[in-house]
């Protein structure tokens, strides 16, 4: 469905940072003068984004524009999968799983897998993003592999978690289906390097490629995320259009008119002031896993020991996920009365996709009957607004991103907003936002413990590590 210019204009997401400002929350807030003082830093961050987009590890910035042909192939493959298979299973971890989960939760029925097929119209989706043995065993208890398409996603083909899952599934399929096993596996990987592409070519798997210069946490708008979305009936072209329109808005050199740049400057100032925790709190179950996706994007991109000049900076801001209104009953007490070390970002929706009325009842009990005649829509909106107000009264930094509706176009905007904001903040800190050296130590230690060739020295190092003292273990 082609949307009009007027419709798209009505679907622009809104970034409201009133409650970040000193005029609203008092001494812990940010002033216009402080924002102005970062004008040069903001300009340099924007220039960095403009200059480096589409190059190196910033090829993700061009994804909204350069995938017209691959979208056609993804949609064709999705139609085939929907016609032939009852289940679609993603084998992946990190960005290969968090993005697909977030989009699925946002744009599909919240209880998709429990709907009858004639209502659902798409396969059941399972995203296997961990190697807990009970999890794999439980998956095999509820699916028939002969009715399932598996999408194994890893750029390098050396991700231990994903490849272990692949080896298990591949073995089961070969034992059950023989040569037809290849018809049940799609490999999403690098086109020209790594282990999975070699295996895919040897086995004859259908393949989709992760573009060079697109890291896992920035990969939702390429085949990593788009195939799953297409299989689940999502209009992926609209997602990309939303992302493209947000990208264009974020090229504006005026901070007050550039949503991601304004958000980046505010977070940078907040971090300088000691707010080293970023809480993402959606007020919609559909956006629940956006918070999980954001946690990887923000934490892995900005948590760096060394800056681009080789100086130790220990940069970063710890991301925390919450869910409104659920976590008003678990975390908000800390946010309103605990340390002044957080920025809370609310995600809200103007118009939910369902309306549920609260019926009349118990009129003799005012503490209950005041709810009657309202809707759950009114209640969740009131709860969000009330929480914003309570935090403002307590002098706590908070900001709100509002989506007119939750649809492909607005979700594409939201994903791109956070990715660009992350790139801006990384540039402001003069760090490499696109590597993850801190992840490698754990990976290498795992390789050594499992006897991977080439990691003998690391195994010796582990063997020489201090032994745990029994006096510090209570049983």
Q: Which residues are catalytic?
A: 300, 329, 443
Six-digit token pair at 98?
């968090």
Return the ∠ at Cα 234 (arms to 231 and 240), rounded to 5°.
Answer: 115
CA torsion, points 34, 432, 301, 421, in degrees to nearest 10?
A: 40
**What is the Cα 252 distance to its own chain's centre?**
25
Q: In what order do the strands lie in the sheet with 206-209?
A: 124-128, 87-91, 148-153, 185-189, 206-209
> Residue 221: which of 371, 62, 84, 444 has the closest Cα?
62
- Find, among 180, 186, 227, 231, the residue nearest to 205 by Cα: 186
Separation of alpha carbons 466 and 457, rounded Å? 16
Give which of 211, 229, 239, 90 is closest to 162, Cα–Cα. 90
Q: Contact, 184 vs 145, CB < 8 A?
A: yes
Strands of 398-405's sheet in order across: 14-16, 398-405, 342-351, 277-282, 318-321
Is the Cα torsion angle 291, 293, 296, 297 positive or negative in sign? negative
Q: Are 229 and 238 in contact, with CB atoms under 8 Å apart?
A: no
CA distance 380 to 375: 9
Q: Which residues are paired to 148 by β-bridges?
A: 87
* Paired tokens of 153: 């996603």
């Amino acid at each position: 469905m082609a949307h009009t210019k007027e419709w798209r204009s009505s679907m622009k997401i809104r970034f409201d940072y009133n409650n970040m400002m000193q005029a609203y929350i008092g001494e812990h807030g940010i002033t216009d003068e402080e924002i102005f003082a970062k004008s040069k830093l903001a300009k340099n961050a924007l220039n960095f984004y403009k200059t480096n987009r589409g190059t190196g590890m910033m090829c993700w910035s061009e994804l909204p524009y350069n995938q017209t042909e691959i979208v056609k192939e993804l949609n064709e493959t999705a139609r085939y999968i929907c016609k032939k298979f009852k289940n679609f299973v993603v084998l992946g971890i990190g960005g290969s799983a968090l993005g697909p989960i977030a989009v699925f939760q946002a744009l599909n029925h919240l209880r998709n897998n429990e709907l009858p097929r004639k209502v659902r119209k798409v396969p059941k989706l399972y995203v296997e993003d961990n190697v807990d043995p009970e999890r794999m065993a439980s998956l095999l208890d509820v699916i028939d592999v002969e009715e399932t398409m598996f999408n194994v996603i890893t750029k390098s083909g050396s991700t231990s978690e994903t490849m272990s899952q692949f080896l298990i599934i591949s073995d089961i399929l070969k034992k059950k289906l023989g040569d037809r096993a290849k018809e049940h596996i799609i490999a999403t990987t690098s086109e020209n390097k790594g282990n999975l592409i070699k295996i895919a070519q040897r086995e004859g798997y259908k393949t989709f490629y992760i573009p060079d210069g697109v890291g896992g946490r920035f990969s939702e708008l390429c085949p990593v995320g788009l195939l799953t979305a297409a299989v689940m009936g999502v209009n992926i072209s609209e997602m990309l259009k939303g992302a493209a329109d947000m990208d264009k808005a974020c090229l504006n050199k005026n901070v007050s008119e550039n949503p991601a740049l304004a958000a980046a400057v505010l977070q940078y100032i907040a971090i300088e002031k000691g707010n080293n925790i970023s809480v993402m709190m959606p007020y919609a179950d559909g956006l629940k896993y956006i918070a999980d996706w954001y946690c990887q994007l923000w934490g892995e991109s900005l948590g760096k020991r060394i800056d681009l000049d080789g100086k130790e900076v220990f940069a970063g801001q710890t991301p925390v996920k919450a869910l409104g209104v659920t976590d008003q009953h678990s975390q908000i007490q800390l946010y309103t009365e605990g340390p002044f070390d957080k920025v809370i970002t609310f995600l809200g929706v103007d118009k939910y996709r369902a309306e549920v009325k609260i019926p009349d009842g118990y009129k003799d009990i005012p503490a209950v009957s005041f709810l009657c005649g309202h809707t759950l829509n009114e209640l969740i909106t009131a709860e969000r607004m009330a929480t914003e107000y309570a935090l403002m009264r307590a002098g706590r930094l908070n900001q709100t991103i509002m989506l007119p509706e939750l649809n492909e176009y607005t979700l594409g905007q939201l994903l791109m907003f956070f990715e660009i904001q992350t790139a801006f903040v990384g540039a402001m800190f003069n760090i490499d936002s696109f590597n993850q050296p801190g992840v490698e130590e754990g990976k290498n230690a795992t390789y050594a413990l499992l006897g991977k060739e080439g990691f003998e020295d690391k195994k010796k190092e582990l063997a020489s590590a201090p032994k745990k003292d029994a006096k510090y273990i209570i049983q």
